[in-house]
């Protein structure tokens, strides 16, 4: 999917909602992370793009800079304590302060409890869930010292409802929902707001990769579309949810798990 800062600005929505704010976006090299980094830059934020893929990560930061925004790229593996510590300290050093942390890095391991190895199970939960703890723990003292901050996490509809063949992914995303609620309670007195979004299926490189492994990927894609009453979404729909939750308009919102799923979790779609 081709996205550019210029095309976003052309929509005429204005660069106002995050003016003067700074943000870290993990998993910024593609998909939802890329869309969020672009949208935040459009709205005036200085963005640190963090991703384990240095090439794609730098390309997103360069796209933001080419469109007149402020961005830098920091290569980071969110399963590494050292990388996360360097990411947080480096971002604070270069930006002066950080207002918003987007915990978006993730992966999907497909399989049932019988099929998934213990190694894959552990890695899935490390990337998707423990990384949220790891980055939040690292930035918490900074947020406390400056009188507040915003942590936003990428969960999934698979963390709200069961999905066949996605046991470790679903467990990891359900964990993201619950760590969000607990951290929201822990951070409230320090003005640290914590929320998460629960995307439905949107076209991202991760989704496309798993579809490519299927015998009939287009048939499965059509089935996925049928599960969403409003049809399949776009990474920019998720970025818009993050934008609202990061903005001052959401200053009285904390601890929520916001489905952005085209109606998927409403219930059975009669047309499916």
For 148-203, write each residue's pLDDT tens digit. Answer: 999 999 999 999 999 888 899 999 999 999 999 999 999 999 999 999 999 998 87
Would you call 169 a catalytic residue per the annotation? yes
Distances (CA, A) of 146 to 96, 142, 243: 11, 6, 21
pLDDT at 69 over 90: yes
Q: What are the domain boundaries of the chain?
A: 11-202+237-253
Total-model pTM: 0.90
- Report the percent of the chain where pLDDT is more than 90: 78
Edge-to-edge strand order for the sheet containing 149-154? 70-75, 46-51, 22-26, 100-103, 149-154, 192-199, 257-260
User: Would the pLDDT of 68 be above 80?
Assistant: yes
pLDDT value at 65 more than 70: yes
Q: Does pLDDT of 49 surpass 50?
A: yes
pLDDT of residue 163: 87
Residue 152: strand, helix, or coil = strand
Give the pLDDT confidence score for residue 1 in this predicted structure.
42
Residue of 40, 140, 143, 169 with catalytic role: 169
DSSP, collapsed to helix, strand or coil, labels residue 92 as helix
pLDDT at 223 over 80: no
Q: Average pLDDT, stretch 95-122? A: 95
The DSSP code sequence of 66-89 is: HTT-EEEEEE--TT-HHHHHHHHH
Rounded distance, CA 136 to CA 243, Å? Answer: 19
CB environment 17-27: b (16+ within 10 A), e (fewer): bbeebbbbbbb
The SS3 call for residue 46 is: strand
pLDDT of residue 270: 54
Whole-number pLDDT of residue 268: 66
98-103: average pLDDT: 98
In the chain, alpha helices (H): 5-9, 31-42, 54-66, 81-95, 118-125, 131-146, 167-187, 205-212, 217-227, 235-246
**Cβ atoms of 158 and 169 closer than 8 Å:** yes
Q: In b/e form, how buried is each residue of 239-270, taking b as 16+ CB within 10 angstroms?
A: bbbbbebbbeebeeebbbbbbbbbebeeeeee
CATH of region 11-202+237-253: 3.40.50.720
pLDDT score at 216? 74
Cβ distance 238 to 34 under 8 Å? no
Distance set, CA 56 to CA 19, 28, 73 (Å) = 26, 8, 10
Q: How far, in Å, CA of 176 to CA of 73, rounded?
A: 25
pLDDT per residue over 3-40, tens digit each? 555 554 444 445 479 999 999 999 999 999 999 999 99
Please answer whether residues 49 and 74 qualify as being in contact, where contact means their C-beta atoms are separated by less than 8 angstroms: yes
Q: Is the pLDDT of residue 222 over 80?
A: no
| Average pLDDT value for the chain | 91
């Amino acid at each position: 999917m081709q996205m550019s800062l210029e095309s976003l600005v052309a929509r005429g929505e204005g660069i106002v909602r995050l003016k003067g704010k700074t943000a870290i976006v993990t998993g910024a090299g593609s998909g939802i992370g890329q869309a969020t980094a672009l949208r935040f830059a459009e709205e005036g934020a200085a963005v640190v793009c963090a991703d384990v893929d240095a090439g794609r990560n730098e390309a997103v930061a360069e796209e933001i800079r080419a469109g007149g925004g402020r961005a830098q790229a920091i290569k980071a593996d969110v399963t590494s304590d050292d990388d996360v510590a360097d990411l947080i300290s480096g971002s604070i050093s270069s930006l002066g302060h950080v207002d918003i942390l987007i915990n978006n890095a993730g992966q999907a391991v497909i399989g049932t409890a019988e099929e998934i190895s213990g190694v894959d199970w552990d890695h899935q939960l490390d990337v998707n869930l423990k990384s949220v703890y790891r980055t939040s723990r690292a930035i918490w003292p900074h947020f406390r010292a400056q009188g507040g901050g915003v942590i936003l996490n990428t969960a999934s509809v698979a963390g709200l409802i069961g999905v066949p063949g996605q046991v470790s992914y679903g467990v990891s995303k359900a964990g993201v929902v619950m760590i969000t609620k607990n951290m929201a309670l822990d951070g409230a007195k320090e003005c640290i707001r914590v929320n998460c979004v629960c995307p439905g299926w949107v076209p991202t490189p991760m989704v496309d990769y798993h579809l490519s492994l299927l015998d009939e990927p287009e048939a499965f894609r059509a089935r996925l579309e049928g599960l969403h009453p409003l049809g399949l979404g776009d990474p920019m729909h998720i970025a818009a949810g993050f934008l609202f939750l990061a903005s001052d308009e959401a200053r009285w919102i904390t601890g929520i798990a916001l489905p952005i799923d085209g109606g998927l979790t409403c219930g059975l779609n009669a047309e499916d």
